[in-house]
Structure 1
Amino acid sequence: MVARGGGRTPEESTRRGAGPRQTWAALPWLVRTAVVWSACLVVIAAGLYLLARITLLVTPLAIALAATFFLAALLDPVQLALRRLRLPAALAALLTVLLLLGVLFGVGLLVWNMTASQFSELGDELREGLERSRDFVTSTLPVTDEQLDGLVGQLRQALSQQEVDPVASAQTVAEVFGSVLLALVLLFFLLKDGRSMWHWTLRRAGGPNREIAAKAGRVGWRTLGSYSRGTMLIAAIDAIGIGLALVLLGVPLAFPLALITFFGGFVPIIGATVAGAVAVLVALAANGPTTALLTLAAVIAVQQIEGNLLEPLVMKRQVRLHPVVILLAVTAGTLIAGIAGAFVAVPIAAVVWRVIDSVQQQRQVAASRRRWTRIIRGRTAQARARRTVRKV
């Protein structure tokens, strides 16, 4: 039967409209699951790609913001102590920033006076250590001198092909200087008005989202503060431990090596590995393989004590990340923003993970409350119905 105007009957329209749904339902569940997950992964990958592209365009700003939050979390106790002395917020923030600059300038001047003449010697020791390592490789492994020299020559040729652009170098220096200046200005305002800005943001959030955002913000800030202070303390302990071991073993340039260990401690896993390798190479060049092996044992012992004893005590459990996550975060940060990205990648990953975990926990608690509320209301309604029946 054909409807008026040459159209389809309602039954035909219903059957045609239900066709795609019936086709989808007829597919095996494994295929449907694969299609849904593939679509989700495509959307997530596209979002991450867009985020990475935007980050690359504003890399100096992103690094400045990350450094600002890192320093603010590190210096927040100092600013709060000054505020307890009834100092105005602006004066307390200014004194905190000046204290940071004074400490950095003083430590930098001290380190320069103590190590400026030794860094050239460090380069010579590293070259000699590499030569000894080369001799060890050629005498132990089935590799000839010609093959190893060919590999080294190819590496040098690849590096020499990267010409240095004076304009690009000047632009990089200007970007670094601008990022440092911007970070200091943002640090002052964040210490001065950070809490009021956060409360202003929370007032714009309505309903249950305000409580979720407030708790997630507190968790993220505590995580960043714990990470920044804990990382600095652990890096200092590693530098002192390895520096003392180098002094006891009679390895030259102990202070520059301890300084490299301290800065390497801010890049988890990779930084400690590189700093330990440099110390072993210098020990090999200066005092031979026996001292190098003892240095390697000392580096491993200090790192094991730090990882298994000090880190659980200093770092809160909520701040710790799996080594795979740390390696991925450091690699991604290095690819996006170089050395600066490697420094800030892990704290960003820790804060993001803790914020997401806090939001999920709060939503689970809210869902559980709603479920129990429905159960209690249902039981109350049943009890009222039973009382009504009894009265009747």
Structure 2
Amino acid sequence: MPRWLPRAVVLTLALYACFQLGSWAFHQLIGLLINILIAFFLALAIEPAVSRMAARGVRRGLATFLVFLAVFVASVGFVVLLGSMLAGQIIEIIEDFPDYLDDVINSINTTFNTELSRLEIQDSLLRSDWLQRYVQNSASGVLDVSATVLGGLFRLLTIGLFAFYFAADGPRLRRALCSVLPPAKQSEVLRAWEIAVAKTGGYLYSRGLMALISGIAHYILFMILELDYAPALAVWVGLVSQFIPTIGTYLAGALPMLIAFTVNPWYALYVLGFVVIYQQFENYVLQPKLTSRTVDIHPAVAFGSVVAGTALLGAVGALIAIPAVATLQAFLGAYVKRYEVADDGTGGAAGAARGGGADPTSRAGSAPRPRLWRWPRLR
């Protein structure tokens, strides 16, 4: 047996054990890593506001605290306003539910010549087995719901704590990271950091602007239909449709449709039609113009990045996919060398020049055709 064989076997087993240990640790810490990633992008989003306040003489820690306080107050105010609106509408729906049920029963009796009554339906529902099982399952699931709520609050606290430290100690973190890198790499890291801040801030700026436009447009519709809580509904539609990826549009339109249905069933159809038409206007007119100026990413690339982010990290990946891809695209674009497009014989660049217009991919409009190298002829 060669001398190196036992040593190679031990080294292979040690590497395999390290791989298994690293894989186990990664799966155990995947939740914490995702929270840190969310906190990092949140810190990048508030970095411009914190930097402006710090440039005016405010201590960076205090500036970060003020920004977080403003976001917290706005979020709590929105939740309280929306909760009061939902509570009022739910109470109204519950009070009017017997009348709705009587109308449905009367229409069924008239259409199918039946003799149903509301009291018989209520007795059959109260004595049904599925209702008893549902009540039992709901009672046993209270602890699960409480644990989920507590876990969500702890996750929000973790994300907020890391985001606060990333934003407050941003310059110190960059210096600590660059101190272990050679000077050539330090400039690249700082450039990537600046691009990430610009793209993330631009993404949130564009989303906020589209939320404002969407809220104003839907507020006008709700005022025309004379719906209750029109300002709160407009804020709900604007924020949910823009900041919840993939399903945000459907969630945003469901609540106004429900409230409009309690006023007039035709109003729900009007709201649905307006939501669909405005979504098309936003997708094909508004969003391309805003994202091209702030994020500078193609709509197809944005859609693909959202799909890929959702497949990798779920809703979190869908939310941070666009600023991450925009940052990567801008960073690589600074180092990718581009060349003029030569005539390939199919009327591409030269055809455009002969047609009266310069090729947009060529700097001079028309470039001299390169001289081809040929094999020497044998004598």
Q: Same fold (TM over 0.5)?
A: yes
RMSD, matched Cα: 4.4
CA-CA distance at 1:190 after TM superposition = 1.8
The 3 A distance-change label for structure 1 pair 282 and 326 is farther
Query: Could you report, residue by residue, the CA deviation over 1:168-226 in whole angstroms, capped at 9, with x for unpaired residues?
Result: 43332222222222222223222211122123213323365444333333222222111
The 3 A distance-change label for structure 1 pair 57 and 71 is closer
Q: What is the percentage of aligned positions where both structures have the same residue? A: 22
CA-CA distance at 1:285 after TM superposition = 5.1
Q: Is the 8 A contact 2:295 2:326 kept in 1?
A: no
Cα distance in structure 2, aligned partners of 1:159 and 1:53: 39
State the one-letter code of the partner of 2:69: L
TM-score (norm 1): 0.59
State the one-letter code of the partner of 1:184: G
Matches within 5 A, 1:264-343: 264-284=241-261, 286-289=263-266, 291-315=267-291, 316-319=294-297, 321-322=299-300, 324-325=303-304, 328-329=307-308, 331-332=310-311, 341-342=314-315
The 3 A distance-change label for structure 1 pair 209 and 351 is farther
Matches within 5 A, 1:54-93: 54=26, 58-59=30-31, 61-93=32-64
Cα distance in structure 1, aligned partners of 2:208 and 2:27: 27
SS at match of 1:102: helix
Give the equivalent residue in structure 2 for 1:263.
240
* Pairing partner for 1:104 from 64, 75, 93: 75
Give the equivalent residue in structure 1 for 2:226.
250
Q: Is the 8 A contact 2:288 2:299 kept in 1?
A: no
CA-CA distance at 1:286 after TM superposition = 3.2
Do residues 217 (structure 1) and 193 (structure 2) align? Answer: yes
* Pairing partner for 1:227 from 203, 206, 228: 203
Q: Is the 8 A contact 1:68 1:186 kept in 2?
A: yes
Q: What are the ranges of 5 or more consecutive residues in structure 2 without an aligned counterpart?
A: 1-21, 112-129, 340-379
CA-CA distance at 1:320 after TM superposition = 5.5
User: Could you say which structure has the greater relative contact order, defined with CA pairs below 8 angstroms and 6 or more residues apart?
Assistant: 1
The 3 A distance-change label for structure 1 pair 170 and 288 is closer
Give the equivalent residue in structure 1 for 2:336.
364
Cα distance in structure 2, aligned partners of 1:306 and 1:213: 35
SS at match of 1:242: helix
CA-CA distance at 1:271 after TM superposition = 0.9
CA-CA distance at 1:245 after TM superposition = 0.6
Give the equivalent residue in structure 2 for 1:349.
321
The 3 A distance-change label for structure 1 pair 119 and 183 is farther
Moved over 6 A (4+): 50-53, 122-128, 155-163
Give the equivalent residue in structure 1 for 2:88.
117
Q: Is the 8 A contact 2:199 2:326 kept in 1?
A: yes
Q: What are the ranges of 5 or more consecutive residues in structure 1 without an aligned counterpart?
A: 1-49, 140-154, 368-392
TM-score (norm 2): 0.60
